[in-house]
Structure 1
């Protein structure tokens, strides 16, 4: 059996379980011939299933929403070969087949386009249906030459002597149209994708120049700037419908993406800081002045003309994008039925319309004067944004009231952002590099990058009284490093010594997560150590008496020793998170210790003395935690600030002992 199947398609949404281009049921096999596009934002696959499930083939392709694509698949079940063309992709090879028996396709079945059919009567699901368009469908009972497949996939109109068994025509001769499908005529040239250098969206809100620039930037766009007379007219014809909303007393409709320098008399682009290659500035308004350093385009009364304009005037921003604007949604629970990404596509109620790849529509609802969410599969799922300003957009951190979702809460905060994976989103929607998050310097205009900067994430139920969980029933290791920095005094007659020490305790707590760790541990300071379990030291001298400890300073830092865990978009904030089980906590203590030393004075001063301190963990059993030396080869170090200290003092202390129990 030989088959060639060709179709042109455009997806407006992706079905959750795939987008069937052809589904043929026969002989109790629902995937007897099944051509489907599996679409996810991160990857797209053309899948071909055949012959009672014995053939399953998947090929990675590049498929975008909202644009036309062209695919041809030919296969020969006798030779077990296939040929596939999808846009500019072409490949051929052996079909992946299970079993050595001959391949066959059952007859007397039912073939459906745009839906997966599970039985002769239908068995169709909303989650396995195309929301989009298919055109120029052809199915031949032969394998056509690869040149035909390639030309078709490149939006050509190839010719062949073979006659298709199934095809589209104006009267839909061989297909019956059922359900909500509509039939229309379209020219082939309208289905051929042409890369657009500009995708423009008007934000019908009157803003000053700087606010307009920021509004475009938070969507990863720039302010529009026509570069030819033809483009100037095309843009004007597209946005003049916003004239009544956007034109103010100055008579202009949208800001232009350049700014003037009064001292030089030049206009410079915002993107690239270069002089204009083309302009349409009116005489008398073509030179930047101190009070008119911006420029805008005349509205319906002064069409197409550019005018120098005071930057503080309120005019609408027209944003330019190099690709379809895309946004991520953060803060949804794992069971939410909402899409976790959005695209900007057209307008609804005269404002930009955000659509999810699967189900969700986010749009301006005039009745409630706010942004709303609807779900095309679950009509009961709705949401409304609580706007803090009349011209607020859903970009950034916003509060939403939900009905009908699966998260169990009616009101929640969501972050809708165009920022990239290496960026952090300010609450107002602006983007900054992640490295500037919580760096003790304000980078967001709303200062939100320096909020919620607690390094340690403490889970519910965490107890500061309990040590970290044991791993494989072994006590939690707490390592101790001791450095003696100075000897304050030696009282020979009173058998006393006073020393300054730096104590470092190292351990890991698998209950915790840390966020935004840096390689420099001094930047990883825990703000409130009292919220965490901290090891407490007991210090005894040689007589087993408790030494007197006088704290000088204390700090808790984290050593970054492992990479961040994969991002979880249920978290509202884009903080990099690190496991407490893989990154070490370090408690730095600077103490003065006053303790007794049993000097042996029989040969004093011609002798050597030995003093000892014993460290142990307090308020925790040895089964739960164990104190260890930081490194076996390390010994306590003694440094003397005065290099001229008496020789007998150096000698007396050279054998000072430190024990860790």
Structure 2
């Protein structure tokens, strides 16, 4: 192990006798840190924080990264904290890669979505740990990891949950992280400043990264990851001045409120802007892993109105109640119930005279999200015939994975997808490298016949590998059983029958 001047550190008696003084200084320092960071809640907004988006176009690549411009010190312990939101996974999601001349993994921190683990490597590889970690796509995760090289203990905190353990190494002599190397964020170095692999890169949003050249108290790490404190101690390396401290290569920068990183509410809604019957609307929500939305309070009603209103003109031209709610009426009990759980509702918001009499002909509920009516009618409910057509507002508790069955073993397409709404259009993102996008209708110049459009499945990093699904109606989605026309996949097929569906919900019986 080398000191800051490149010489060997004495690991004998001097190190052993000085260690007690080091421990005393460490204890006093921790007391200062704890006092400086007395717990106080981060409010729903908090301060604005810089966010770095890696691989904004979704293409796995090696030229999108942050390169630290300054010197990394030698150290016998460290803590790294950060907030991350995976937009897609890679074979391995490289977050932090510090390499020196003869060792690529002097410090390496990464995620493996498939295995649901956090990877910690250090110090010429006597340290390599795979630590269990729950990782979701498109949801913020706050992480702190620390390594004590004296006591050979690791600590991991994520989402307020902490764990620790002994480092599994074979040698007992002192060792440390060496100085003078190169730190990259968003890529994994296999050699110093090189050997990058697009399958070990990062497609994610990263914020509030903090690197300390000592081990933070576990209570501070825990509080950081549950957003109950601000760490007021300035880190050795951080995002305080990104453009001064880092070379920013092919990344996007934006700002977000600090409170958004630790929201406990992972629910979200997606509007499917094509009119369908109630049954078909429920079906497309369920096969995508969601349910039709139901407001339970006036606050829910306002939020749902704000979500749906931008799509009102696409959903109806002749009515103000353009959306379905997940509500059904029971003609026998004259109760309005949640259509899936069958639970009676304690909150309703029917227009005057509507919803008083439940019949088989009018036992579904539509929702007003039109700006072309007086404000008092925003979010009003109407009793409606279930065979009318309205747009669906799908509610998701989290990102739900849809499984693609029918691909050959050699296929380069992803096996898992999730419904996404980006740039004002519906798509299905592969968990790793693929995407399914909708193509607009096309008019044949000879016949004058206009198609309904199509869906294209393709590899983002290999766009010549693709498959096409022709639509037979304007409401067709690429879920369920469908036959695709394939080009350039390894399966050697021309036609492929693919089943794309979520297994998260049972069958919904709707009359």
| TM exceeding 0.5 | yes
Deviations along 1:521-572, one digit per CA (max 9) or x if unpaired, are xxxxxxxxxxxxxxxxxxxxxxxxxxxxxxxxxxxxxxxxxxxxxxxxxxxx
Deviation at 1:251, TM superposition (A): 3.3
Q: 1:232 to 1:118 in 2, by over 3 A?
A: same
Which structure 2 residues correspond to residues 267-286 of structure 1 after superposition, within 5 A? 267-286=336-355
Which structure 2 residues correspond to residues 457-536 of structure 1 after superposition, within 5 A? none
Structure 1 stretches of 5 or more lacking a match? 424-429, 433-442, 446-661
> Partner of 1:377 in structure 2?
461
Q: 1:288 to 1:223 in 2, by over 3 A?
A: farther
Query: Aligned partners of 1:349, 1:374: CA distance in 2, in Å?
Result: 20
Which structure 2 residues correspond to residues 19-98 of structure 1 after superposition, within 5 A? 19-40=93-114, 43-98=115-170
Alignment counterpart, residue 313 of structure 2, candidates 232, 244, 251: 244
Query: Aligned partners of 2:287, 2:196: CA distance in 1, in Å?
Result: 41
Query: Aligned partners of 2:176, 2:398: CA distance in 1, in Å?
Result: 44
Q: 1:119 to 1:366 in 2, by over 3 A?
A: same
CA contact (8 A) 1:348 1:364 kept: no
Deviation at 1:364, TM superposition (A): 1.5
> Partner of 2:28 in structure 1?
none
> Partner of 1:522 in structure 2?
none
1:6 equivalent to 2:81? Answer: yes
Deviation at 1:46, TM superposition (A): 0.9
Query: Aligned partners of 2:190, 2:151: CA distance in 1, in Å?
Result: 28
Query: Aligned partners of 2:243, 2:388: CA distance in 1, in Å?
Result: 56
Structure 2 stretches of 5 or more lacking a match? 1-75, 443-452
> Partner of 2:227 in structure 1?
155
- SS of 1:10's partner is strand
Deviation at 1:327, TM superposition (A): 0.6
1:134 equivalent to 2:206? Answer: yes
- SS of 2:107's partner is strand
CA contact (8 A) 2:434 2:460 kept: yes
Query: Aligned partners of 2:79, 2:330: CA distance in 1, in Å?
Result: 63
Compare CA radii of gyration and give the structure with the larger one.
1
1:125 equivalent to 2:197? Answer: yes
Deviations along 1:370-422, one digit per CA (max 9) or x if unpaired, are 112232221222221133333211111111122232222232111101125xx
Query: Aligned partners of 1:305, 1:160: CA distance in 2, in Å?
Result: 47
Deviations along 1:15-38, one digit per CA (max 9) or x if unpaired, are 12x112210111221111111111
Query: Aligned partners of 1:444, 1:207: CA distance in 2, in Å?
Result: 14
Query: Aligned partners of 1:363, 1:335: CA distance in 2, in Å?
Result: 23
Q: 1:94 to 1:221 in 2, by over 3 A?
A: closer
> Partner of 1:651 in structure 2?
none
Query: Aligned partners of 2:230, 2:311: CA distance in 1, in Å?
Result: 43
> Partner of 2:3 in structure 1?
none
Deviations along 1:424-454, one digit per CA (max 9) or x if unpaired, are xxxxxx859xxxxxxxxxx999xxxxxxxxx
Query: Aligned partners of 2:510, 2:487: CA distance in 1, in Å?
Result: 32
Deviation at 1:100, TM superposition (A): 4.1
1:188 equivalent to 2:258? Answer: yes
> Partner of 1:218 in structure 2?
287
Deviation at 1:292, TM superposition (A): 2.6
Deviation at 1:289, TM superposition (A): 5.2
Alignment counterpart, residue 359 of structure 1, candidates 433, 436, 443: 433
Deviations along 1:175-198, one digit per CA (max 9) or x if unpaired, are 2212x11233333212113224x4
Deviations along 1:607-648, one digit per CA (max 9) or x if unpaired, are xxxxxxxxxxxxxxxxxxxxxxxxxxxxxxxxxxxxxxxxxx
Query: Aligned partners of 1:287, 1:413: CA distance in 2, in Å?
Result: 47
Q: RMSD of the alignment, in Å?
A: 2.5
> Partner of 1:294 in structure 2?
364
CA contact (8 A) 2:288 2:418 kept: no
- SS of 1:205's partner is strand
**Matched pairs, number:** 420
Query: Aligned partners of 1:145, 1:264: CA distance in 2, in Å?
Result: 59
Which structure 2 residues correspond to residues 410-421 of structure 1 after superposition, within 5 A? 410-419=494-503
Query: Aligned partners of 1:418, 1:25: CA distance in 2, in Å?
Result: 42
Q: 1:229 to 1:377 in 2, by over 3 A?
A: same
Q: 1:101 to 1:32 in 2, by over 3 A?
A: same
Q: 1:34 to 1:217 in 2, by over 3 A?
A: closer
CA contact (8 A) 1:83 1:91 kept: yes
Deviation at 1:171, TM superposition (A): 4.5
Deviation at 1:101, TM superposition (A): 4.4
Hey, which of these two has a bigger chunk of helix by percent? Answer: 2
- SS of 1:346's partner is strand
1:319 equivalent to 2:394? Answer: yes
Query: Aligned partners of 2:110, 2:482: CA distance in 1, in Å?
Result: 37
Deviation at 1:335, TM superposition (A): 1.4
CA contact (8 A) 1:73 1:82 kept: yes
1:172 equivalent to 2:243? Answer: yes
CA contact (8 A) 1:349 1:366 kept: no
CA contact (8 A) 2:94 2:201 kept: yes
Deviations along 1:257-316, one digit per CA (max 9) or x if unpaired, are 223344654433323334331122111223235443322112423432212222222212
Of structures 1 and 2, the one scoring higher in RCO (CA 8 A, sep 6+) is: 2
Which structure 2 residues correspond to residues 576-591 of structure 1 after superposition, within 5 A? none
> Partner of 1:231 in structure 2?
300
Q: 1:325 to 1:288 in 2, by over 3 A?
A: farther
Q: 1:292 to 1:320 in 2, by over 3 A?
A: same
CA contact (8 A) 1:261 1:288 kept: no
- SS of 1:332's partner is coil
Query: Aligned partners of 2:287, 2:126: CA distance in 1, in Å?
Result: 49
Deviations along 1:40-63, one digit per CA (max 9) or x if unpaired, are 1xx311111112222111110111
Deviation at 1:220, TM superposition (A): 4.1
Q: 1:146 to 1:381 in 2, by over 3 A?
A: same
Q: 1:138 to 1:262 in 2, by over 3 A?
A: closer
CA contact (8 A) 2:126 2:170 kept: yes
Query: Aligned partners of 1:248, 1:325: CA distance in 2, in Å?
Result: 32
CA contact (8 A) 1:266 1:287 kept: no
1:335 equivalent to 2:442? Answer: no
Q: Provide the TM-score with structure 2 as the length reference.
A: 0.76
Q: Provide the TM-score with structure 1 as the length reference.
A: 0.60
